[in-house]
């Protein structure tokens, strides 16, 4: 279909008729702004569950991870040899004055350290590869899931905040995996290896050394939950700030038109300040861990050195053994410090991953029933049977709406703003499902029709159509991706768009800016009509398609629309009542109900609500009604 699929379908989905969960509007003015409902403090989620899900993603690169683990074990083993060889150098070569043996041992140690450096570099390289593959899969799963979420989800959330989850949060996970993944494994392996060697060398001194472990664990357990919450708050406020930036850039014309630059800057500053405070809290909490662990480890090292010196004086152990043990004690404290710092980094990654998984866990649009009816081509018979619907519980938008159109008819929906006209279209396209009653196409309840088949049979031309930052040719081709260039040009000619396209700098190859901002409103509408022509829908929906253009452009649009509507069932929402005189049936919607129905002439003759509405557009005031508003 022309407009109801993909990114451009989004423009039609927002209900305009009744209160509903509000989007951000202009920057910072809605609930997405600072201090609104999206600024509430989030609670920490299930860190263990999030970690397990991340490990599942990393596990897809199990072969590369196996090589990384092997390299880590190799590097840890080589690292453990250093202090042992240093002790041997003191006791065997230095004590006996064997300089030749000392030189050979020094050469061996240098070779080991070179191999160790190479293993560390290779594991870092491979871990970067693992991290990028992992976040590629995570980002793809998130984006794929977004495509399947119902429109209600997007209507209730600031788009910039969703973009932050797709970019900043996923990138945060990538950075942590690349920089800390192999280091985490290496620290754990080194810690285990050092413990084994120390207990083999001297049990009493090993026991003295591991006194630091309970203190380190207690400190980590105290700080870690607070750090994780701090990073969640930081990512949350970053999402709010991104939302303000995205909507400000999109609505810059409105900001400048109403001279709201200073207020917008003030709202940005408020969000920026909230982010700074949240980020400062997170970094301060994360910064406590390192100095605290260093203090504990230095105190432990001083105790080890004192006990070791006492053993050496009493002849319980050699000077070389004590020197090696002190080096092992330092190696023992280093991975503890690294693990403590990594714990903070992991909290940041988990905070981002939690936000990503929150979106992935959102329920998608209900799947088609196993016995869903395929719809190759629709005849165009549409019926609403006692349909009721509300966007928010307790706030009805449509009440027992019934109507019927035969194939090829033009049905006009008119009424004041907020009456429920666009909601009728949202239900027909299944952007939302009815709460009561049924919508039928060719006699089938649309909930029993394959959703993709239904939407392919519908074509949508909106008041403000979405164009992509691509060429004119590709924007029209979006209606039917397999169409040839010749078919695209033919569709443009039928839509009265070829005459202006050929005058563009590169014709059909002209690159459009975001949302087609380098075209006029009328030109954008003509491209949207051409896209609908190419899609060749069975049922056409026109939502205020000519309301934002001048009279001359409207003439071109009306000619193109008449060609497009020929032989098709059409639903037309129009405020300019002069454009729907030829409608087979006019439905007057008011307060979520159909209060009048008939042809243009019949409704004028009835002297009711439509009569007043029509003449008010020409005389500036309502003509005297000969009937009540309900006709």
pLDDT at 386: 93
User: What percent of the chain stands above pLDDT 70?
Assistant: 82
Helical residues (DSSP H) of 538-623, grouped into ranges: 551-565, 600-606, 609-619
Q: What is the pLDDT of residues 6-19, one digit of tens each?
A: 333 333 333 334 33
The confidence band for 224, taking pLDDT boundaries of 50, 70 and 90, is low
Average pLDDT estimate for 159-176? 80
The confidence band for 389, taking pLDDT boundaries of 50, 70 and 90, is very high
pLDDT at 37: 29
* Res 69 pLDDT > 80: yes
Average pLDDT estimate for 267-283? 85
pLDDT at 25: 33
Average pLDDT estimate for 515-520? 78
* Res 384 pLDDT > 90: yes
User: What percent of the chain stands above pLDDT 90?
Assistant: 9
Range in 9-18, 349-358, 416-425, 578-587 with the lowest mean pLDDT:
9-18
pLDDT at 49: 81
Q: Which residue has the higher pLDDT, 587 or 308?
A: 587
Distance CA 430, CA 3 (A): 13
Average pLDDT estimate for 561-579? 81
pLDDT at 473: 92
Q: Which residue has the higher pLDDT, 343 or 467?
A: 467
Average pLDDT estimate for 297-319? 71
Average pLDDT estimate for 110-114? 84
Average pLDDT estimate for 129-136? 85
pLDDT at 382: 92
pLDDT at 147: 84
* Res 151 pLDDT > 70: yes
Query: SS3 of 382, please?
Result: strand
pLDDT at 370: 83
Q: Is the pTM of this model over 0.75?
A: no
* Res 76 pLDDT > 50: yes
pLDDT at 351: 78
Which range among 21-25, 197-201, 288-292, 485-489 has the greatest average pLDDT?
485-489
Average pLDDT estimate for 483-488? 92
pLDDT at 536: 86
Average pLDDT estimate for 611-622? 70
Average pLDDT estimate for 370-398? 87
Q: Which residue has the higher pLDDT, 436 or 557?
A: 436
Provide long-range contacts, Cβ within 8 A and 24+ apart, for 228-231: 228/44, 228/47, 228/347, 228/350, 228/351, 229/43, 229/44, 230/278, 230/281, 230/282, 230/283, 230/285, 230/286, 230/347, 231/282, 231/286, 231/347, 231/348, 231/350, 231/351, 231/352
Pairing, β 436-441 against β 593-598: unpaired
Q: What is the pLDDT of residues 21-54, one digit of tens each?
A: 333 333 333 333 333 322 333 333 567 788 888 8
pLDDT at 344: 66
What is the per-residue DSSP string for 313-360? HTTSS-HHHHHHHHHHHHHHHHHHHHHHHHHHHHHHHHHHHHHHHHHH
The confidence band for 595, taking pLDDT boundaries of 50, 70 and 90, is very high
Contact 347, 245 (CB under 8 A): no
Q: Which residue has the higher pLDDT, 291 or 380?
A: 380
Contacts with 593 (C-beta within 8 Å, 6 or more apart), sequence order = 398, 399, 400, 401, 420
Range in 3-12, 163-172, 338-347, 594-603 with the lowest mean pLDDT:
3-12
Q: What is the pLDDT of residues 413-438, one digit of tens each?
A: 998 888 888 899 889 988 888 989 99
The confidence band for 441, taking pLDDT boundaries of 50, 70 and 90, is very high
pLDDT at 7: 37
Question: How does the average pLDDT of the chain come out, rounded?
Answer: 77
């Amino acid at each position: 279909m022309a407009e109801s699929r993909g990114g451009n379908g989004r423009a039609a989905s927002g209900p305009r008729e009744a209160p509903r969960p509000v989007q951000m509007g202009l920057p910072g003015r809605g609930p997405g702004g600072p201090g609104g409902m999206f600024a509430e403090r989030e609670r920490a989620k299930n860190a263990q569950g999030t970690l397990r899900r991340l490990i599942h993603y990393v596990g897809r690169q199990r072969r590369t991870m196996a090589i990384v683990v092997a390299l880590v074990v190799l590097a840890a083993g080589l690292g453990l040899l250093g202090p042992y060889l240093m002790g041997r150098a003191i006791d065997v070569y230095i004590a006996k004055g064997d300089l030749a043996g000392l030189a050979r041992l020094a050469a061996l140690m240098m070779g080991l350290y070179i191999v160790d450096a190479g293993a560390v570099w290779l594991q870092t390289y491979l871990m970067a590869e693992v991290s990028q593959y992992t976040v590629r899969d995570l980002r793809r799963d998130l984006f794929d899931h977004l495509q399947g979420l119902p429109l209600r989800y997007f209507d209730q959330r600031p788009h910039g905040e969703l973009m932050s989850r797709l970019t900043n949060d996923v990138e945060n996970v990538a950075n942590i995996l690349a920089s800390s993944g192999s280091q985490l494994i290496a620290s754990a392996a080194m810690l285990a290896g050092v413990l084994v060697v120390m207990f083999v060398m001297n049990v009493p001194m090993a026991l003295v050394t591991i006194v630091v472990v309970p203190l380190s664990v207690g400190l980590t357990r105290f700080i870690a939950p607070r750090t994780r919450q701090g990073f969640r708050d930081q990512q949350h406020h970053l999402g709010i700030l991104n939302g303000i930036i995205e909507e400000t850039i999109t609505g810059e014309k409105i900001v400048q038109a109403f001279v709201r630059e200073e207020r917008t800057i003030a709202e940005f500053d408020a969000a920026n300040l909230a982010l700074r405070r949240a980020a400062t809290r997170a970094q301060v909490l994360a910064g406590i861990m390192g100095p605290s662990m260093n203090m504990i480890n230095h105190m432990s090292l001083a105790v080890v050195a004192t006990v070791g010196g006492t053993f050496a004086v009493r002849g319980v152990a050699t000077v070389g053994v004590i020197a090696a043990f002190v080096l092992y004690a330092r190696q023992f404290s280093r991975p503890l410090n690294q693990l403590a710092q990594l714990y903070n980094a992991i909290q940041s990654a988990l905070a981002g991953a939690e936000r990503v998984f929150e979106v992935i866990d959102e329920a998608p649009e209900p799947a088609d029933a196993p016995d869903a009816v395929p719809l190759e081509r629709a005849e165009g018979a549409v019926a609403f049977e006692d349909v009721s619907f509300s966007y928010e519980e307790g706030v009805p938008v449509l009440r027992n709406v019934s109507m019927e159109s035969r194939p090829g008819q033009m049905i006009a929906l008119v009424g004041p703003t907020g009456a429920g006209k666009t909601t009728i279209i949202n239900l027909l396209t299944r952007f939302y499902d009815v709460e009561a009653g049924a919508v039928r196409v060719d006699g089938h309840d649309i909930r029993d029709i394959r959703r993709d088949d239904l939407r392919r049979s519908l074509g949508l031309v909106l008041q403000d159509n979405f164009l992509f930052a691509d060429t004119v040719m590709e924007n029209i081709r979006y209606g039917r991706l397999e169409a040839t260039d010749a078919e695209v040009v033919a569709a443009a000619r039928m839509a009265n768009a070829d005459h202006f396209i050929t005058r563009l700098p590169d014709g059909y190859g002209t690159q459009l800016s975001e949302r087609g901002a380098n075209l006029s409103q009328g030109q954008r509408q003509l491209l949207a009509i051409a896209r609908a022509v190419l899609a060749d829908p069975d049922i056409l929906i026109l939502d205020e398609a000519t309301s934002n253009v001048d009279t001359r452009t409207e003439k071109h649009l009306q000619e193109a629309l008449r060609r497009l509507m020929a032989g098709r069932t059409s639903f037309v929402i129009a405020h300019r009542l002069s454009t729907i005189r030829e409608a087979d049936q006019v439905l007057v919607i008011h307060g979520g109900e159909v209060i009048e129905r008939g042809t243009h002439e019949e409704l004028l003759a009835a002297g009711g609500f439509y009569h007043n509405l029509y003449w008010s557009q020409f005389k500036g005031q309502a003509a005297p009604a000969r009937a009540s508003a309900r006709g």
